[in-house]
Amino acid sequence: MATLGGAEMAVTPAGSTFAGLSDARELDPKRIQVFWRHVERYDPGASVRPAAATVRRLVVVSGWAYETRILPDGRRQIFGFALPGDVVELPASSNYGQRALVALTRLEVVDAAVVCRADGPDGKTAQEAVERALQLRSERLFDHMVRIGRLTSKERVLNLLLELHDRLRAVHLVKDGVFRVPVTQEMFADTLGLSIVHINRTLQRLRRDGSIVVRGGAVTIPHPDRLASAACYPATWARAASANQGLA
Amino acid sequence: MATLGGAEMAVTPAGSTFAGLSDARELDPKRIQVFWRHVERYDPGASVRPAAATVRRLVVVSGWAYETRILPDGRRQIFGFALPGDVVELPASSNYGQRALVALTRLEVVDAAVVCRADGPDGKTAQEAVERALQLRSERLFDHMVRIGRLTSKERVLNLLLELHDRLRAVHLVKDGVFRVPVTQEMFADTLGLSIVHINRTLQRLRRDGSIVVRGGAVTIPHPDRLASAACYPATWARAASANQGLA
DNA sequence: CGAGACTTTGACCGTAGTCAATTTATGTGG
DNA sequence: CCACATAAATTGACTACGGTCAAAGTCTCG
């Protein structure tokens, strides 16, 4: 049967090397030059290096990552996924045990400070974009809390897939309604606070009733609008996401 | 039998009108004067007024509040509690439906901007304190996500109580190990992603086995250290909280 | 005292977890 | 291109944690 995870692939926005920073006005050759030197690359499974004493703000250039914490007894909670164009805040290494950012695919990130510095005299535009992106990330945390706190398993899965769909679409990573989700069912389980077996069965139900279509790690959601209400997915969100695409 | 909620009471730090801002160096009479004029007061159940177009940062002066979202079908998720000395970020009124800050007791708040403005030439000290407090709040969101995502009901309740204990202690609201928790069991349920009935039974179990003592809305945790590990409560946390008390 | 809010209890149900085995990719070296 | 090793997905049987419903008990306060 079809699976959800599909391992690593070219998880980069269409027609642009600089995911999430691809919009016209940002594409100053000089600026890109600057970025190239500062891009950090990680292989799947590697943790992004935190700063020594400060929180670190990172812009995801390409690839997927996930934020996670692992409990002493091995239980794991995944807080969310970082996609191209997202900005993430890493805790200082001193309390890094609390939360790590792990590459899910091949991953490229740039320090937000670099992006801001590169942007004009006082880097105001980029600075604002970073703030906005962090704000969105924060809102997503609340969404996710609702998911794991108050939604049923079916709603959780759908809701998360809808979010990923919208976010990926905002950075042009959805083609003809199809998007790639390089996440194993085990990770989905740890994200949504469910067991892996239950995730598996829930996905099957969703496929059977036609809510989602999964083919080789790529997902399609035939009727996003119809499902949004069934999954308590705030329609508002879609608006906010397209009106305010973070760094895209 | 003893209950948990105990309605409103003087939920203000010991020997100080200005909870969370009571430390020596902050107690400049002029500054307090400024604050008095800007304090906003809310009655239990009232929502704190959001700003029109911007996120609003508020310092809690006294009382409790909770951040919440209500789903179309009535389900509710409470994201956490704001205690004296905490700083909270409210969304702009445009998408205020997403998340509200509601007074749980009589509540006094001040706009963080006011606090910063009042603090010396460029308000740097206060500014930093606000940033730090927001950082702590953010960390608590992650803690809470682990709670509802990966802990058992018993662990969830204990873990939350331990957090409240530590936070209240940091602002001197714990006397002889006893602290007041003006939260109904229904709210606890909506906070921890459980049903009210289950919360009730879980609390009873915890009382029976002596993990907690509840008398008229006041709670004692006889052996915090022993329970911390049983509840996956990061001991680290306590350290961070006392080393870094936000605005206290 | 009565109303309303909150807590407690009992009976029953169902969603989701656990355990363990099987099947299906995915990948690697010969 | 095949054999084998490994990771991921799937299945079945069984359990249990936590939810639902409904009624009764407490507490507070006007």
Residues A148-176 pLDDT 10s: 999 999 999 999 999 999 999 999 999 99
Under the banding of pLDDT at 50, 70 and 90, the label for residue B14 is very low
pLDDT > 70 fraction of chain B, expressed in percent and rounded: 77
The residue among B213 and A215 whose pLDDT is bigger is B213
| Lowest-pLDDT range of B32-46, B63-77, B100-114, B175-189 | B32-46
Cα–Cα distance list, A78 to A82, A87, A187, B116 (Å)? 11, 17, 7, 35
Q: For B150 and C22, how far is CA from C1' in angstroms?
A: 28
Say whether the CB atom of A76 is under 7 angstroms from strand D. Answer: no
The residue among B143 and A123 whose pLDDT is bigger is B143
**What parts of chain A have a pLDDT lower than 70?**
1-34, 96-97, 119-124, 235-248
pLDDT of residue A60: 95
Q: Put the strands of the sheet holding B178-180 in their side by side order.
A: B178-180, B218-220, B213-215
Distance from C-alpha of A39 to C-alpha of A112, rounded to nearest angstrom: 11
Residues A132-141 pLDDT 10s: 999 999 999 9
- The amino acid occupying position B156 is R
Q: What are φ and ψ of residue A43, in 5° steps?
A: -90, 160
Distance from C-alpha of A107 to C-alpha of A105, rounded to nearest angstrom: 6
Say whether the CB atom of A193 is under 7 angstroms from strand D. Answer: no
Distance from C-alpha of B130 to C-alpha of A169, rounded to nearest angstrom: 35
pLDDT of residue A29: 52
- Contacting residues of A for B192, CB less than 8 Å apart: 149
Secondary structure of residue A3 in the 3-state scheme? coil
Residues B72-120 pLDDT 10s: 999 999 999 999 999 999 999 887 668 999 999 999 999 999 888 876 6
Cα–Cα distance list, A83 to A26, A186, A193, B7, B50 (Å)? 19, 19, 21, 44, 30
Q: What is the mean pLDDT of chain B?
A: 84
Burial class (CB in 10 A: 0-12, 13-18, 19+), A196: middle
Which of B87, B142, B192, B232 has the most A C-beta neighbours within 10 Å, making it the best mutation to test the interface with A? B142
pLDDT of residue B122: 66
Say whether the CB atom of B185 is under 7 angstroms from strand C. Answer: yes
Under the banding of pLDDT at 50, 70 and 90, the label for residue B34 is low
CB-CB contact of B24 with B65 (8 Å): no
| Lowest-pLDDT range of A78-87, B15-24, B197-206 | B15-24
Distance from C-alpha of B216 to C-alpha of A120, rounded to nearest angstrom: 60
Q: Vertex B116, ends B144 and A133: CA angle to 5°?
A: 50
Test A145 with B79 for CB contact under 8 angstroms.
Answer: yes
The residue among A243 and B36 whose pLDDT is bigger is B36
- Contacting residues of A for B139, CB less than 8 Å apart: 91, 98
- Contacting residues of B for A98, CB less than 8 Å apart: 139, 142, 234, 236
pLDDT of residue B26: 46
Query: Tokens in use for B49?
Result: 């007024």
- Rounded to two decimals, the pTM is 0.88
CB proximity list for B20: less than 8 A, separation 6 or greater: B13, B59, B60, B61, B83, B84, B85, B86, B171, B246, B247, B248
Alpha helices in B18-106 (DSSP H): 29-38
The residue among A245 and B63 whose pLDDT is bigger is B63
